[in-house]
Amino acid sequence: MDRGAWRAAVHGVTESDTAEHPPETPQTWSDLVFLCGPSKKKGLSAEEKRTRMMEIFYETKDVFQLKDMEKIAPKEKGITAMSVKEVLQSLVDDGMVDCERIGTSNYYWAFPSKALHARKRKLEVLDSQLSEGNQKYANLQKSIEKAKIGRRETVKQIKWPKQLLTDGLIWISVLY
């Protein structure tokens, strides 16, 4: 469908009207959208919004109210004002942003030092878990060595797993 036929179908514009207004000149917003096509710009993902919101807190190192964030986020980081509250609440729920109610207002803040301390605590926990795991591994290796001291492996014990494996493969090939 060409533009003239489309305009006639949508707006009831006749052929004489299109002669007065050349096809290059859009008369309405819908004509403009039809000419330009859909917008190529895509919105930000939730994770991008969260990252950009955290950048605001880290760069300014200030305390904000929700209405302040709804003004700043669209201007500085391109986060739509409609999604600021949702993004901010998800950051609060994850413990990345602190929120305190003072009187009737909610104040939000996040400082880079808090994130650094959180990462250090996480690293310490993981280091302790690693050392515990290494200790358990060493203890198990010692108990295996102690268990092997009183035993002797026979030829049957050594060959049996290999024989079972080959017999199993033979049975599988016979079945199929």
Label residue 116 by pLDDT band (50, 70, 90): confident
Residue 62's alpha-carbon distances to 110, 115, 147, in angstroms, are 8, 15, 63
Instruction: Please give the DSSP secondary-structure letter assigned to residue 45.
Output: P
State how beta strands 98-102 and 64-65 pair. unpaired
Our CA dihedral for 6, 9, 10, 13, rounded to 10 degrees, sits at 90
> What does the pLDDT average to over 76-98?
90
Q: Is the pLDDT of residue 8 over 80?
A: no
Q: What is the reported pLDDT for 85?
A: 92
Q: Is the pLDDT of residue 37 over 90?
A: no
